[in-house]
Structure 1
Amino acid sequence: MRFFRDLTLSTFTAGIVAVLVAFASSVAVVYQAAQALGATPAQVTSWVWALSMGMGLCTVIPSLMLKKPVMIAWSTPGGAVVATAAMAGGFTMAEGIGAFLMGAVLIVLAGATGWFERVMSRIPMALAAALLAGVLGRFALDAFSAARTAPALVVLMLLAYLLARRLAPRYAVVLTLLVGVAHAAVSGQLQWSGVSLELARPVFTMPAFSFSAFMSITLPLFVVTMASQNLPGVAVIRASGYQMPISRLITMTGVATFIFAPFGGYALNLGAITAAICTGPGAHEDLSKRYTAAVVCGVLYLIIGLFAGVITGLLMAFPSELVLAIAGLALLGSIAGGLSQALAHENEREAALITFLVTLSGVAIAGVGSAFWGVVAGSIALFVQQYGRKPRNPSS
């Protein structure tokens, strides 16, 4: 089978790192969103099961079919929207599930009509690359900021990364991760108390539909998922050099969300951070083999879904500083590539820089994240500077 021929240690490691980053850095948001809707412990586990199974199936199947790294994730900012809206509006779990189903329909329409892909095709590559660098840059900043609370761990991992990049660049991330885990284990920073031996049991919730839930949960969740998740997700795909059927992938995430929503799968979308790990040069120097990293990631998602109670506890056992450090270091190559593309042409350089800085700032306006506003700001800058002017030679 071609998959096993293409699978390497570096792509296998990239898949593991992507899962570690996806869960350990944002699973708390899922808990908060579920609990804000009054979830029981069984329902919280069901949410993790639903999201994991949805991500796993939507990552493994298209990646194997297209032989390209299709990375699907849950909407982390969307989870924050759900938690905030639920606490403010006092919505029930049934109303929340109904809102998720309505949001899934909107995502399907966005993909089936092709309007989202048409909007993305009009965004210049320089702005898309700057958007990618800005989204990933926040993780790099967090990696070094983690040195405030765990200086020895972060410095040791940085030194391990630099040394590995010189001696064995292909395995720099895996060696850095091993050094970090070893240090955490020796210093007693691994927290095993949250690990419990139980299998996940999906819990079905009958939806209830209300106009207030649609306005307070569905619409903000849809906008945030499309603007703050799918937008940078497409930017990662384009900046990594892949051509994919974006509209069909968006439609697929909407259908999967509709299927898993009654069990807590509130929103699935194209991955950005995890996608950068599996589509970047750190996974493999050959673009045609990076899909194996996505498949590994998807299979692990499915395993986590089946054993949500156990695996989630294991992932949460790692200190947060280790997760932040490995995420930031693993993305340095992708950040550098994004900046290189963004600043390559002088006539687009300033607009791209504005996109990068606004995105990196993390500013949120009207509940919409900085990824969207970064593209808006960069597009306005490019329009003001270039409208009516004759095209210049990109090499000038």
Structure 2
Amino acid sequence: MSYAGPLLIYLSAAESVGTSKEGFSSWVFAISVAAGLSSIGLSLWFRVPVAMAWSAPGTVLLISLGTSLSPAEMVGAYVAVAAILVLIGFSGVFERLVQLLPPSVTNGMMAGILFGFGLKAAGGLATDPAAIALLIVVFAVCAMLFPRYSMLVLLASALLISAVFYDASVGTVGVVFASLEVSGPVFSMGAMLSLALPLLITTLSGQYLPGMAILRANGFRISANPILIVGGLVSVLAALLGGITTALASITAAFCAGSDSHEDPDRRYVAGIACGVFFCLGGVFAGTIVEVLVLLPTALIALLAGLALLQPILKFTGAMLASEDAQAGLLTFLFTASGVTLFGIGSAFWGVVIGIAVHFLGRSAELFSGKTHT
């Protein structure tokens, strides 16, 4: 759940920015090992099921930006976000910082980022209707019978469809280890505003905030500060290999922290360790994973990635519309999903700016109106 779906989105991001197969292998190694080692270390340290991963909304940001940023600028944005996460962890202002942003705006931004990409999921219906329709049927059946394993079944089905419809040579894939490509960071204002700022917001409010809430709801009283520090430090190292920011998992955290992982809460930390081990294995064999994924046609990749985003889109859109300030959230959503670029800065930044402006103008109008009537 925490690996297959987001990895398909990551593949779409790699294709959108023109990354080579070797470069993508380096990305997969970086994010897998960073998430794996931090999951193992934090779970052992605190005896709490801490599952780390990478942000799907953050990955979709790369797709929306396309080739507007160079690989070095992307690395610079990752390093900047990682450094800020470490500073937030040491300062202890995580909860207060997240509360500064209106929930309607953060939910609208994340829903807009995901929705803009989700629209592309059905693009292959015109060119490959049979394959797309078949995969949608498989998805519908999986959603009813075994939703927890739906992405793994969908990926296996997509490979089978690729072999039948597109003559993909699935059987020729062998064991291939990761190819590592080190890239130095370049810090530019465009990358900071278009990628780093939205990525920081999605990481804090879309990953760390719900992840911590899930841990605490299951009785695990742990501070977010050391998790932020460790996540930020491993993110710096991952960034130099092209990997996007490592963060606390949310969906996987629910599996690891709940009774499904173990009846005894004191033994559930093993689930966090197991999650980390499997992530590390994915990193070691990143070359094989990439060799398999590149066999998938673009239309199937877009559909699989879009299906992986259905639940997050539903979650963030529902939260946005349910908020008291839904209008500001909806405007944030629309401008973010538009994909518009102004002064070289991406739509996620402008969506947040407009949403915050509308939010505070609305609050000011309410205060003024209240004073006028008294």
Q: Same-fold call, TM > 0.5?
A: yes
Structure 1 residues 351-360 or 137-146, which shifts more? Answer: 137-146
Alignment partner of 2:318 out of 323, 337, 340: 340
Check the 8 A contact 1:128/1:239 in 2, yes or no: no
Check the 8 A contact 1:81/1:220 in 2, yes or no: no
Alignment partner of 1:70 out of 43, 52, 56: 52
* 2: CA distance, partners of 1:136 / 1:268: 17
Measured after TM superposition, the shift of residue 221 of structure 1 is: 4.6
Alignment partner of 1:229 out of 193, 196, 199: 199
Alignment partner of 1:374 out of 339, 343, 351: 351
Measured against aligned partners, the alpha-carbon deviations of 1:170-190 in whole angstroms (never above 9, x if no partner) come to 555454444433322322353
List aligned pairs for 1:311-326, cutoff 5 A. Answer: 311-326=289-304
* 1: CA distance, partners of 2:99 / 2:259: 22
Measured against aligned partners, the alpha-carbon deviations of 1:142-168 in whole angstroms (never above 9, x if no partner) come to 212232332222222223333443455
Measured against aligned partners, the alpha-carbon deviations of 1:299-332 in whole angstroms (never above 9, x if no partner) come to 4442233233333212222223223222222332
The answer for the alignment partner of 1:8 in structure 2 is: none
Check the 8 A contact 2:17/2:66 in 1, yes or no: no
Check the 8 A contact 2:162/2:295 in 1, yes or no: no
The answer for the alignment partner of 1:126 in structure 2 is: 104
The answer for the alignment partner of 1:56 in structure 2 is: 36
Measured against aligned partners, the alpha-carbon deviations of 1:350-373 in whole angstroms (never above 9, x if no partner) come to 111112212222234455443333
Check the 8 A contact 1:60/1:294 in 2, yes or no: yes
Alignment partner of 1:362 out of 339, 349, 370: 339
SS at match of 1:389: helix
Measured against aligned partners, the alpha-carbon deviations of 1:21-58 in whole angstroms (never above 9, x if no partner) come to 254323446873x89xxxxx6x8865654444223323
Alignment partner of 1:265 out of 233, 241, 246: 241
Structure 1 residues 100-109 or 46-55, which shifts more? Answer: 100-109
Measured against aligned partners, the alpha-carbon deviations of 1:262-295 in whole angstroms (never above 9, x if no partner) come to xx324542569xx576468xx7996986999987
Mapped pair 1:136 → 2:114: yes
SS at match of 2:245: strand
Check the 8 A contact 1:129/1:339 in 2, yes or no: yes
- Change in Cα spacing, 1:318 to 1:85, as seen in structure 2 (3 Å) is closer
* 2: CA distance, partners of 1:18 / 1:296: 18
- Change in Cα spacing, 1:201 to 1:266, as seen in structure 2 (3 Å) is closer
Count of residues in Structure 1 that have an aligned counterpart in Structure 2 = 351
SS at match of 1:18: helix
The answer for the alignment partner of 2:12 in structure 1 is: 25
- Change in Cα spacing, 1:391 to 1:308, as seen in structure 2 (3 Å) is farther
Give the TM-score taking structure 1 as reference length.
Answer: 0.67
The answer for the alignment partner of 1:302 in structure 2 is: 280
Measured after TM superposition, the shift of residue 343 of structure 1 is: 1.2
Measured against aligned partners, the alpha-carbon deviations of 1:70-100 in whole angstroms (never above 9, x if no partner) come to 323597557998976659xxx8xxx999998
Give the TM-score taking structure 2 as reference length.
Answer: 0.71
The AA in structure 1 aligned to 2:337 is L
Identity %: 26
SS at match of 2:52: coil
SS at match of 2:2: helix
Unpaired runs of 5+ residues, structure 2, are 217-221, 262-267, 370-374
Structure 1 residues 67-76 or 182-191, which shifts more? Answer: 67-76
- Change in Cα spacing, 1:382 to 1:194, as seen in structure 2 (3 Å) is farther
* 1: CA distance, partners of 2:150 / 2:24: 36
Check the 8 A contact 1:199/1:308 in 2, yes or no: yes
Measured after TM superposition, the shift of residue 106 of structure 1 is: 5.4
SS at match of 1:71: strand
The answer for the alignment partner of 1:150 in structure 2 is: 128
* 1: CA distance, partners of 2:179 / 2:237: 16
- Change in Cα spacing, 1:169 to 1:134, as seen in structure 2 (3 Å) is same
- Change in Cα spacing, 1:370 to 1:250, as seen in structure 2 (3 Å) is farther
Check the 8 A contact 2:135/2:157 in 1, yes or no: yes
The answer for the alignment partner of 2:2 in structure 1 is: 15
* 2: CA distance, partners of 1:292 / 1:363: 45
Measured against aligned partners, the alpha-carbon deviations of 1:193-218 in whole angstroms (never above 9, x if no partner) come to 9956543465778x7xxxxx7544xx
Mapped pair 1:165 → 2:143: yes
* 2: CA distance, partners of 1:374 / 1:287: 39
Unpaired runs of 5+ residues, structure 1, are 1-13, 36-40, 208-212
SS at match of 1:25: helix
Measured against aligned partners, the alpha-carbon deviations of 1:365-389 in whole angstroms (never above 9, x if no partner) come to 4554433332222221111122252
Check the 8 A contact 2:331/2:354 in 1, yes or no: yes
The AA in structure 2 aligned to 1:352 is G
The AA in structure 2 aligned to 1:67 is P
* 2: CA distance, partners of 1:357 / 1:300: 38
- Change in Cα spacing, 1:124 to 1:45, as seen in structure 2 (3 Å) is closer
